Amino acid sequence: MADKRASVAAVIVAGGQGLRARKHDNEPAKQYRMLAGKTVIQRTLDAFSQHPEITTIIVAIGSDDHQYCTHTLEESTKQIHFITGGASRQESVFAGLTALIQHSPDYVLIHDAVRPFVTTDIITRNIKALTSHQAILTAIPIHDTIKKGNAQGQIIETIDRSHTQLAQTPQSFHFSLILSAHQKADSHQKTDFTDDAAIAEWAGMNVHVVEGHRDNIKLTRPEDFNMTEQRLIMETLLARGEARTGIGYDVHALGEGNSVTLCGVEIPHNKSLQGHSDADVALHALTDAILGAIGEGDIGEHFPPSNMQWKGMSSDHFLKDAINRVTLKKGKISHLDVQIIAELPKISPHREAMRQSIATICDLPLHRVGVKATTNEKLGFIGRGEGIAAYAVATIRLPWEDDV
């Protein structure tokens, strides 16, 4: 575990080259481009602001880019401070570290805004490693063979890849040490460092490597955006799963009595629905619709009328059982819709109570439940008031099964 007393800050580098590149065309800089419905920088900031150990975030942005960041400021609950970065990456980081002086963190993680796929695990590994090392480089081993070429395009050397690493960010440091290293580089007018680990090495710090991830890429070329966008959309689709639909129908006769129960709501009437349980046709139809959507038989199979156990039983019991079967399959209810067909009693005054009743039984928000009613225009057995029928449709999301 990381030292609980250590305070951890992050510097996100989002200025420099992107801004200059953007001034020559109408496209926004890479960090402000949309990626599957969210800007790149928002994804990066989410990764850091949602990490429990990071308390302060400094974002070094281009001088004209404050307009893009206002909404991020408002939405975030963490301490995110946008500052104007410098002309180069190194200058932006230095500006970020300088802005952090007043917060005096123990550790600082320095990260590129255009690496939005940094994970909680990578951030945690960096912070944990800082308890025993001064400087951390996130990197992945190189599996391809590396060749060194000359200006004429000829290969002059095959590099031994056994100890080669591909550097990523975050690169993380004891705050006071990396601040001194940057101050020293600044006073020596050394401005050609391409990353902070290089500055740390130059300043004499030992840089320790922690494992990054192949997906933690720097979005640079258009194909990086296309590939990652496809991956994100695919992940979202897989997480949502596939939609299944089930239909249910039920009918019960009206006989002697003084109330009917529909969708779990008791309504005064001069007749009652006849049946083995409370004869709630609407909940029976709905239970069958749910069982149909998950391919688990029907209500009669699970609760046979021949079994005296279910005599007079409140039908929410059957519905809850069906919901429980959905949960066991790791499914989620998208929507439930019930259509009641009754000449009398009048359903409309009770419709909202019925929706609420189903929402409560199924533990769903109200907007995922529909209840409608119609008469049968005095036609047939329903029209003569001999019975009440109900249809129901259930839409359910189940984990993706790639067998279609």
Q: Which is nearer to Mg ion, 283 or 364 (CB)?
A: 283
Q: Which is nearer to Mg ion, 271 or 284 (CB)?
A: 284
Closest separation in Å from C-beta 259 to Mg ion: 17
Residues within window 270-309 making contact with Mg ion, judged by CB under 5 A: 284
Q: Is 193 helix (H, G, I), strand (E, B) or coil?
A: coil
Element (H, E) at 70: helix 66-75
Q: Which residues contact 55 (CB under 8 A, 6 or more apart)?
A: 7, 8, 9, 78, 79, 105
Residues within window 32-61 making contact with Mg ion, judged by CB under 5 A: none
Question: d(Cα 195, Cα 170) in Å, to the nearest integer?
Answer: 10
State the CB neighbour count (10 A cutoff) for residue 151.
5
Closest separation in Å from C-beta 266 to Mg ion: 17
Closest separation in Å from C-beta 388 to Mg ion: 10
Please answer whether residues 40 and 33 qualify as being in contact, where contact means their C-beta atoms are separated by less than 8 angstroms. Answer: yes
Element (H, E) at 148: strand 146-149
Closest separation in Å from C-beta 389 to Mg ion: 10
Residues within window 212-251 making contact with Mg ion, judged by CB under 5 A: 250
Q: Which residue is nearest to Mg ion (CB)?
A: 284
Please answer whether residues 273 and 252 qualify as being in contact, where contact means their C-beta atoms are separated by less than 8 angstroms. Answer: yes
Closest separation in Å from C-beta 372 to Mg ion: 19
Q: Which is nearer to Mg ion, 94 or 318 (CB)?
A: 318
Q: What is the pattern of x (binds Mg ion, CB under 5 A) and - over residues 325-364?
A: ----------------------------------------
Question: d(Cα 126, Cα 107) in Å, to the nearest integer?
Answer: 10
Q: Which is nearer to Mg ion, 74 or 301 (CB)?
A: 301
Work out whether 269 is an interface residue with Mg ion (CB under 5 A).
no
Closest separation in Å from C-beta 283 to Mg ion: 9
The dihedral through the CA atoms of 294, 298, 301, 303 has a sign that is: positive
Binding site for Mg ion (CB under 5 A): 250, 284
